Amino acid sequence: MRKVLIPLLVISIIVIFVFSSSNYIFAVPEIERSIRIGADNHLPPYSYVNDNGIFKGFYIDIMRAIAIEIGIDVELHPMPWYQLKNDLNNNRIDAIIGMNVSTQDTAVVVSDPFLTSSETIFVRIDNKYIVNIEDLKNVRVAIHRGNIPQNLLKQLDPNRIEYVENQQQGIQKMMMGKVDAFIGDRLSGLYTIQKWKQENFIKIVGDPINKRSYGIAVRKEDKELIKLFNKGLQAIKANGTYDKIYKKWFGETLNPNIRLMKKIITVTGLILFCVGIVILVILRWNTALKKEVKKRTVQLDKANKQLLEQKKQLENEDKFKEEILNSVLSGIITINKDKRITFINSSGSDVFGTSKDKMLGEKIDKTILCNFFDSEKLDKVLKKGNYYKNQEIEINHNNVKKILNYNLYPLIEKNMDITGAIISFKDITQEKQMQAELARKDKIQALGLMVSGIAHEIRNPLTTIKTFIDLIPYKIDNKNFRNKFMELVPNEINRLNNIITELLEYSSPKKPDKQIIQTKAMFQHIYILFSKQFRDKEIDFALEVNDDSRIYADKNQIKQVFINIILNSLEAVSKGGKIRVSSETTNGVTGIIIEDNGCGISKENLDKVMDPFFTTKSKGTGLGLFICYQILKENNGNIDIESRLGEGTKVTVKLPSKADNRGDQIE
């Protein structure tokens, strides 16, 4: 009998299983096509695309479990939240997972809720003064943007609210102490906390805020699809799949009692461990203490020797640095924020004829230095971080005049705080004298090149005057002759006078005297000096300088610069060549451009043309452009040369268009 009953029982179980499963085996799927499901692509742990490009999250696992239960095929489409509703309305997707069941949108139908969540308050575990929402009024709060209702925001101080774009950012700011509390999604927050292993450092306080439920939304006309989704939801909740997915993504709820119990166990274990260590130490106290004292004594002796060696090394390094600075030919002075001198090298004290001891520690205003260095500039360096380059001062030391070139720079620490200033300077008296001598020689050379043209210009008016004088005995009674005589002779005499005046102004050495110069008038005078050369070589000279163009410089020095440049162009162009002079003024700087279509300069020589004594001319000195550069530097100007061999040369000279007291060179 038993042998018969067992097979019958097995057959009965198989029949029951087959009939209970017939729904899935023999039923025709209600939906034959793939269902397109849209979800937020950046809402961890609900739904997001990870660093490897995989679309995952709680919503994704729930949707796949439902699809398996109801026997349909789904396509999951990640996209920004704002795009989901639009794609649903335009039939690009069939459903949205994660829609609030309380939505006011009448164009959609939402399934039964499968998740309930709310906003909650997260604080650090050691925070004792925040227990509910009322305690947030006067503290710094981070809030997940767009998820908090307005009635809650009105209860908080808007000046203490800091909005964040996601849960991770808000929790991170709270852990770093930038805010006192964070209000965000409860489940997402739990996920982030457990992912970062911060369960023992963060707690949840207060009642849930803005509680809401989520489901699957479809278009209003797709109610049959909602029935399928509800059926699948019931199935995965009944068979335990839902609970497994929930625990996978959200883990267990933070439980203060469990945390407290863990803390008590940890503290108790530490106490027991310490008691055991103390007992062990007491038992071995006598022998261990002697060894430890001996060991510590050796370590202290070793550490003491290391400290002495380091101190000696630092002293040697400081002495070495000081010797280096003292050996530098330039003077170096440092001052602190109070304008007290903290260092001066030997060259610096020698220049001013004072000893270091008398100056160190003293305020610069109470030393001889105040007579030479501008106090106002020092204030700007110390307070604003300004710097001044290539400043010049004249001092009188032992009845000997010296010219110093100095720079003022702020001393700045790593945190960008200004701690003082450094003054570096050098004696350029001989350099200035040499420059003056070189300039004089260059003038003499330029005068020699101009003399033939000037002689011709002088001879023309003299010939006119001589002709009229020779005709006086014969035509003195002729009224027309007398009128012509009175008209032409004075004009020719004035012309002679202008040529000689320009020549004398150019050749006579003068102390630099900056003034506003009319650029066009200056070039018109220069043209007179070279008019014969222009005619002899049939040069097409175009003066396209603006009538309102001005420069601020020493007139004679700058005239020497442009005479030298035009001489170079005259030598470079062949018969019938072109020379063009133009100007442009921008931001207080006047640029004067001199272009020619001469032989040009080779690429390898272009970088050397400013070097002293460099020349490609058989009888040249190589000082012309070097002198020009030095003169422009003194007048806060700059020069730039562009040239191509066989095509021509373009020289751009930049000078201030008005008085400028900053002392910085034009770049």
Average confidence (pLDDT) per 10 residues, the chain, 667 residues: 46 44 40 83 85 90 92 92 88 91 86 88 90 86 74 78 83 89 84 82 86 90 90 93 88 52 74 85 78 82 81 72 67 79 75 70 72 74 76 70 76 77 76 64 56 58 71 75 73 68 54 83 83 85 90 86 86 89 90 90 75 57 66 85 88 86 46
What residue ranges in 101-241 does DSSP mark as E strands? 108-110, 115-124, 141-144, 161-164, 181-185, 202-219
> What integer pLDDT is reported at residue 5 of this predicted model?
45
H or E segment to which residue 541 belongs = strand 540-544
Closest CA to 435 of 633, 639, 655: 633
Q: Which long-range contacts (CB under 8 A, 24 or more apart) does 309-313 make?
A: none
The distance of Cα 662 from the centroid of its chain, to the nearest Å, equals 25
Q: Residue 506: what pLDDT? A: 52
Q: Which of 628, 623, 634 is nearest to 666 (CA)?
A: 634
User: What is the identity of the amino acid at 557?
Assistant: Q
What residues have CB less than 8 Å from 482, skipping those under 6 apart?
476
pLDDT at res. 78: 94
**Token pair for residue 90?**
């335009």
State whether residue 21 is helix, strand or coil. coil
d(CA 116, CA 137): 27
Q: 243: helix, coil or strand? A: helix
β-pairing verdict for 141-144 and 161-164? parallel
In the numeric block, the tokens 């049959």 are attached to 224
pLDDT at 26: 34
3-state secondary structure of 395: strand
Residue-range domains of the chain with CATH: 328-427 (3.30.450.20), 432-656 (3.30.565.10)
